Amino acid sequence: MSVITIIGAGMMGSAMCFPASDNAHEVRLVGTPLDREIIDAAGATGRHIKLNMNLPEGVKYYQTEQTDEALDGADLLIGGVSSFGVDWFGENILPKIPEALPVLSVTKGLRALEDGTLEPFPHYLMRCYSNGRRLSLNAIGGPCTSYELAAGHQTHVAFCGENYETLVKLRGMLSTGYYHITASTDVRGVECAVAMKNAYALGVTLAVGLSEKIRGEGMADDYNAQAALFGQSVYEMGRVLELVGADSGNIIFGAGDLYVTIFGGRTRKIGTLLGRGMTYTEAARQLEGITLESVVIARESVKAIKILSQNGKADINDFPLLMHIGELINDGKTANVPWESFTHDRK
């Protein structure tokens, strides 16, 4: 049995309690400063108020000021923060851990550097917060919703990191009969694939809003249009993988994650509202209080592709859907999907 400390008691971080507990590890769930109510409720009743289900018996609960206690003797640290909490995690948690403690992050996201490089979060954290130490920073990518993982539904993800032996060890700690894990040292490929899906999920769900604009809200979804946008998204995501020099096989994690994301949640909501004809400002106002990671990733991706195009390293015409998403969220334009730009003749 190992000791697994999870920092971040949101839905995905907390869902990781289930495979960890099912493998008989000691699980310690630590809240961030934003998770105090979740930890108080779980400590008192065992129930997670966001997942709306009981967490496994035996999980130990800690508030953020008890982080040092929760890290004492840990064999694995799982980072359960959202992309908006990455810098908090880097500033407040990474300085506390020894080099020997591997980190496995559920966080999906990218930073666009000045030269157009798309930097995955493990590389970003190492560059900004390692303080010269050689930390083992790994990440999870792939199609996985928190509530289905917690319910034990069949799931296939990738653990990515620099050291294959470490990934195999982490897989051994967390793999179950329902949680299946591919180990990959292609960090940039896995992370780019699964982060980009957030931007493209917004693009695919434009079709829902466009259909509702014609037929009325709540009417049947326009599956032909969604399929066309899904196909274009996969095509463009594949082009991104080529640009970053990644293994093209990582598209299975991006496409799978895209498939999961378009069925619900915050990204579907913003894409639907934009498809109905709202400007981004109007849609964001209606969704006030909801964190929109898809918008952040879309902006970073658009920025990177434009820089690479200006430097002659990418063809902006390969990304008509991403550029349209950029027009919606950056320029205040309304949905006008460039359908004809998606045609790809083959001779």
Q: What is the DSSP string of 95-151?
A: GGS-TTS-EEE----EEE-TTS-EEEHHHHHHHHHSTT----EEEEESS--HHHHHT
Helix then strand then coil, in percent of the chain rounded to 5, is 55, 15, 35
Q: Does residue 263 fall inside a structural domain?
A: yes
Cα 148 versus chain centre, distance: 16
How many other C-beta atoms are found inside a 10 Å radius of the C-beta of residue 190?
Answer: 31
Out of 32-41, 98-107, 224-233, 280-289, least confident range: 280-289
pLDDT at 220: 63
Residue 63 carries which side chain, given as an amino acid letter?
A: Q
pLDDT at 222: 80
Q: Which of 214 and 53 is assigned the larger pLDDT?
A: 53
The answer on pLDDT for 219 being more than 70 is: no
pLDDT at 221: 66
Q: Which helix (H) or strand (E) holds 281?
A: helix 280-286
Domain match, 125 and 263 both: no
Tens-place pLDDT, residues 267-306: 899 999 999 999 999 998 988 867 688 899 999 999 999 9
Q: Does residue 120 fall inside a structural domain?
A: yes
Report the CATH number that the domain containing residue 179 is assigned in CATH.
3.40.50.720
Domain of 75 in residue numbering reads as 3-185
Residues 6+ apart with CB under 8 A from 282: 273
Q: Does residue 287 fall inside a structural domain?
A: yes
Domain match, 204 and 316 both: yes
The answer on pLDDT for 60 being more than 80 is: yes
Domain match, 195 and 181 both: no
Final residue belonging to a domain, choices 185, 203, 218: 185
The answer on pLDDT for 168 being more than 90 is: yes
Final residue belonging to a domain, choices 134, 162, 185: 185
Positive or negative, the CA dihedral 258, 262, 265, 270 is positive
Phi, psi of 93 (to 5 degrees): -105, -50
| Residue among 333, 192, 206, 327 at smallest CA distance from 268 | 206
User: Residue range 44-60: average pLDDT?
Assistant: 96
Structure letter (DSSP) for residue 338: -
Q: Does residue 324 fall inside a structural domain?
A: yes
Out of 15-29, 193-207, 212-226, 306-320, least confident range: 212-226
pLDDT at 195: 92
Domain match, 131 and 209 both: no
Q: Does residue 77 fall inside a structural domain?
A: yes
Assess contact for 28 and 4: CB atoms under 8 A. Answer: yes
Domain match, 32 and 57 both: yes
Give CA angle at 174 (171, 93), nearest 5°.
Answer: 95
Final residue belonging to a domain, choices 185, 209, 237: 185
The whole-angstrom separation of Cα 93 and Cα 82 is 14
Tens-place pLDDT, residues 6-34: 999 999 999 999 999 999 999 999 999 99
How many other C-beta atoms are found inside a 10 Å radius of the C-beta of residue 63?
Answer: 17
Domain match, 33 and 120 both: yes
Domain match, 38 and 105 both: yes
Assess contact for 231 and 258: CB atoms under 8 A. Answer: no
User: Residue range 126-144: average pLDDT?
Assistant: 94
The number of distinct structural domains making up the chain is 2
Domain match, 165 and 194 both: no
With cut-offs at 50, 70 and 90, classify the pLDDT of residue 174: very high
Q: Does residue 8 fall inside a structural domain?
A: yes
pTM, entire model: 0.93
Domain match, 32 and 174 both: yes
Report the CATH number that the domain containing residue 287 is assigned in CATH.
1.10.1040.10
Domain match, 170 and 214 both: no
Q: Does residue 347 fall inside a structural domain?
A: no
Assess contact for 80 and 8: CB atoms under 8 A. Answer: yes
The whole-angstrom separation of Cα 281 and Cα 287 is 10
Domain match, 25 and 159 both: yes
User: Residue range 329-342: average pLDDT?
Assistant: 95
With cut-offs at 50, 70 and 90, classify the pLDDT of residue 240: very high
Domain match, 172 and 24 both: yes
Tens-place pLDDT, residues 245-266: 999 999 999 999 999 999 878 8
Q: Which of 289 and 309 is assigned the larger pLDDT?
A: 309
Q: Does residue 36 fall inside a structural domain?
A: yes
User: Residue range 38-42: average pLDDT?
Assistant: 97
Tens-place pLDDT, residues 138-162: 999 999 999 999 999 999 999 999 9
Percent of the chain with pLDDT over 90: 85
